């Protein structure tokens, strides 16, 4: 794991990038994207949950989302955190987990900032549970937003070493095909 200096530097770099990205928008483009973000439609999405075989499988849902992908991202993650429609499927994250923010970047990266008392205090999850949780987000984001190639997970706006002590979050996560059940 990395020392706090590297974590603080990475966190500062992400914050600075988002600040510059926000400052670079012109007033006209903000008005246009607000209008576009306000339009909604019913979309079919895939949410990835753990199967009895201990692999991720998609659950298909039809939900009303903004037509603008950047505006829809946080809503898709919130839908994932609600849990499976099948009551026998275990939750991927602690029930108090919240989506603080989510961003789609033009370079194929997505940033998902999670919060909640359990994640803040240090989630006491096993390695498999943590792996499934992290990659349920990665697979969900990548399957619903084709421009995304990797996902960066933050906790409370900060770069975190892990969610619960096992999965290294110092870099963006790419899909791991061996975690997804073959169809």
- What's the pLDDT tens digit per position in 8-36? 455 555 554 554 444 444 444 445 555 65
Q: Output the pLDDT for position 125.
A: 86
Give the separation between CA 136 and CA 32, rounded to whole angstroms: 32
List of long-range contacts for 92-95, beta carbons under 8 Å, 24+ apart: 92/49, 92/50, 92/132, 92/133, 92/136, 93/119, 93/133, 94/118, 94/119, 94/123
Q: What percent of the chain has pLDDT over 90?
A: 64
Reduce the secondary structure of 100-130 to three states and give it as a string: EEEEECCCCEEEEEEECHHHHHCCCCCHHHH
Residues contacting residue 34 through CB under 8 Å, at least 6 positions apart: none
> What is this structure's pTM?
0.78
Give the separation between CA 157 and CA 64, rounded to whole angstroms: 27
Range scoring the smallest mean pLDDT among 20-24, 49-53, 83-87: 20-24
The answer to whether the CB of 130 falls within 8 A of the CB of 167 is yes
Residues contacting residue 130 through CB under 8 Å, at least 6 positions apart: 123, 162, 163, 164, 165, 166, 167
**Token pair 């201990």 in the structure block, residue:** 54
Q: Output the pLDDT for position 83.
A: 94
The answer to whether the CB of 161 falls within 8 A of the CB of 1 is yes
Question: pLDDT tens digits, residue range 94-114?
Answer: 999 999 999 999 999 999 999
Question: pLDDT tens digits, residue range 116-155?
Answer: 999 998 888 889 999 999 999 999 999 999 999 999 999 9
């Amino acid at each position: 794991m990395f020392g706090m200096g590297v974590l603080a530097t990475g966190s500062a770099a992400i914050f600075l990038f988002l600040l510059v990205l926000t400052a670079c928008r012109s007033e006209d483009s903000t008005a246009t994207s607000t209008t576009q973000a306000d339009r909604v439609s019913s979309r079919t999405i895939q949410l990835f949950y753990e199967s009895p075989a201990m692999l991720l499988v998609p659950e298909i849902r039809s939900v009303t989302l903004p037509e603008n992908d950047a505006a829809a991202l946080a809503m898709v993650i919130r839908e994932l955190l609600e849990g499976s429609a099948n009551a026998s499927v275990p939750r991927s994250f602690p029930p108090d987990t919240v989506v603080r923010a989510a961003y789609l970047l033009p370079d194929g990266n997505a940033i998902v900032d999670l919060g909640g008392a359990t994640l803040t205090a240090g989630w006491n999850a096993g390695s498999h549970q943590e792996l499934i949780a992290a990659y349920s987000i990665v697979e969900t984001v990548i399957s619903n937003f084709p421009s995304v190639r990797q996902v960066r997970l933050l906790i409370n706006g900060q770069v975190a070493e892990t969610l619960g002590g096992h999965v290294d979050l110092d870099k963006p996560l790419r899909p791991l095909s061996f975690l997804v059940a073959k169809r």
